[in-house]
Amino acid sequence: MKRSRHLLGLPTILAIAALAGCDGSSGSGDAGVIASGADPAAPLFQMAESAPWTTRYAGVRRVESHVIDETGNQVDLAYREEVAADGNGNFTIRAIEALSYVPNEEAFLLKQDLRESFLYRYRDFQIRDLARFYANYVAVDLGQSTTIAGRSASVYLIERNEPGSSSYTVGFDDETGLVLRYEERDISGVLTASMEFESFDADPDLSGAVWSQPTASPVSFDVSANLSSQTGFDVLEPAVLPTTGYFLWKAHTLLDYENKTWMRLTYTDGVEPLFFFHTEKPVSLNPDVLLPGDGKTTDEVWVYSIGAVQVVQGRVRGRDMLALGRVSGDELLDVVESAIP
């Protein structure tokens, strides 16, 4: 199989964001809650896990990202967005102003609006699964009680147990656990992403809110049971994940705009999500189609990036496959290869 670098067009970016952003439930996982009497932050982190889905609020946030693109150049992006949630799982995000140069601000704002489900669920730091968060991360109370957008907040330095990973400085709302501010830095200490509320309304009028609607209708499955028997087709599950600590968090099927059924497996280490998709059945079954290193070049996969997210996409043994996460392209190739029967 041939592996290529690929520059991504807007329609493909939006299609991937739509597939990854659709969800049939809130963002919190099903793992049991850890009761940690020895950890004074336990109540705060327990609230943080569900806060995006249980907190009613509205506000304006400043968002920044600083990444290296496929040509090796640094791309700096900053913009403002309006965000609101009703505390019952509904939310909306609307980009309102570009603060850095973009070639076409109107097109940029529209693109962000079309990706709102993905951005709300997966762009920013979140405690997605409390059990895995405690297993894989260390949180240090910096003793910085501060005020962010008029809200009392506690600040923590959060790092992965595994060396060579990003670190986060996170300001949690003391009342709700909602992330009010975070900065992400790479292993060299360079700022790569940040978000901060500039205003916050804890009792907003949401009568005119237009909530995010999924572009596909996902069907959820029990990840503790056999997925193939639940779906009625062979579900390919990766045997290799990029690093220790990831586990299968959610499983869904969904239809894309071509009415094609996809299996979406979502993994997490407690904070970072990783997605693996494949179509329900091969378009054409070819036993000679293998991954790189097997000496076959019948099919091709593309490795590219969307900001800090790496993507592997292609057709393997007749199945369309897609993997994306904030890990290296080689690690994602291992994920895809390990899923092939």
| CATH code of the domain in which 263 resides | 3.30.200.100
How far is it, in rounded angstroms, from Cα 256 to Cα 221?
A: 18
Q: Within a domain: residue 109?
A: yes
Q: Within a domain: residue 172?
A: yes
Domain count, the chain: 2
DSSP result, 238-259 = -S--SSTT-EEEEEEEEE-TT-
Q: Give me the pLDDT at residue 279, please.
A: 92
Determine the length of the chain: 341
- Beta strands 300-306; 2-5: pairing state: parallel
Q: Give me the pLDDT at residue 171, please.
A: 97
Task: Please state, in angstroms and as integers, the Cα–Cα distance from residue 11 to each residue in 3, 20, 98, 300, following that order.
Answer: 21, 14, 21, 20
User: At which of 201, 230, 262 does a domain end?
Assistant: 201
Q: Within a domain: residue 9?
A: no
Same domain, 181 and 223: no
Q: Within a domain: residue 243?
A: yes
SS3 314: strand
Same domain, 34 and 176: yes
Which tokens in the block code for residue 36? Answer: 């940690």
How far is it, in rounded angstroms, from Cα 26 to Cα 18?
A: 16
SS3 234: coil
| Residue 223 C-beta-side C-alpha neighbours within 13 Å | 16
Domain hosting residue 285, numbered range: 219-339
CB 153 within 8 A of CB 147: yes
Residue 278's DSSP bridge partners are: 263, 321
Residue 210 amino acid letter = V
Same domain, 67 and 93: yes
pLDDT values of the chain reduced to their tens digit, one per residue, 341 residues: 454 544 334 344 445 555 665 665 555 444 333 333 457 778 999 999 999 999 999 999 999 999 877 677 888 999 999 999 999 999 999 999 999 999 999 999 999 998 899 899 999 999 999 999 999 999 999 998 899 999 999 999 999 988 778 899 999 999 999 999 999 999 899 999 999 999 999 999 999 999 998 766 789 999 999 999 999 999 999 999 987 789 999 999 998 878 889 999 999 999 999 999 999 876 544 444 444 434 444 567 888 877 778 899 988 878 889 999 988 888 999 999 899 87
Same domain, 158 and 304: no
Q: Is the dihedral of CA 171, 175, 176, 177 positive or negative?
A: positive
Q: Give me the pLDDT at residue 82, please.
A: 98
Same domain, 151 and 50: yes
User: At which of 170, 201, 232 does a domain end?
Assistant: 201
Q: Within a domain: residue 20?
A: no
Q: Give me the pLDDT at residue 306, please.
A: 75
SS3 121: helix
Q: Within a domain: residue 88?
A: yes
Same domain, 133 and 268: no
Q: Within a domain: residue 12?
A: no
Q: Within a domain: residue 224?
A: yes
Same domain, 229 and 165: no
How far is it, in rounded angstroms, from Cα 336 to Cα 299?
A: 14
Same domain, 183 and 290: no
CB 131 within 8 A of CB 271: no
CB 185 within 8 A of CB 66: no
Q: Give me the pLDDT at residue 315, please.
A: 85
Residue 32 amino acid letter = G
Q: Give me the pLDDT at residue 229, please.
A: 96
Same domain, 194 and 236: no
CB 8 within 8 A of CB 306: yes
Which of the 8 DSSP states describes residue 8? P
- The beta-strand segments (E) located in the chain are 2-5, 56-68, 74-86, 91-98, 137-141, 146-148, 151-160, 167-173, 179-185, 191-201, 219-220, 247-255, 261-268, 273-279, 300-306, 309-316, 319-325
